[in-house]
Amino acid sequence: MKRLQLPKNKFARVAINVSFIAIWEELAGLIIEIIWERIGELGFFNQDSFLVLLVEILLLILPILSFTYWIWWGKNFMAKKIK
């Protein structure tokens, strides 16, 4: 399978990165809303707890940071090199 070919143009990379961030922010918001509705039904956490805030930040920030790193600096940072 041929590897994903990213454009070498920096403006195209910025456009891809910005569009991913906008789309991911919307999707993460929907995912978090569904998760907390289910957890709210169980009654384990209140939605003002530190754990809820931490999960929301990690679900929103980590994918954005890893995708941005992959777009700009590392094409193979997710794959381990086998020797």
Digit-coded pLDDT (tens) for 9-23: 889 889 989 999 999
Taking every pair of C-alpha atoms in the chain, what is the biggest distance, in angstroms?
50
pLDDT at 1 over 50: no
Amino acid at 50: F
Interval 50-82: pLDDT, tens: 777 787 788 888 889 888 888 888 665 555 555
Helices (H), ranges, 1-83: 10-42, 50-72
Amino acid at 81: K
pLDDT at 2 over 80: no
Specify the pLDDT at position 57: 83
Between the alpha carbon of residue 54 and those of residues 24, 47, 48, 58, 77, the distances in Å are 17, 11, 11, 6, 25
What is the residue extent of each domain of the chain?
Answer: 10-72
DSSP state of 42: H
Specify the pLDDT at position 21: 92
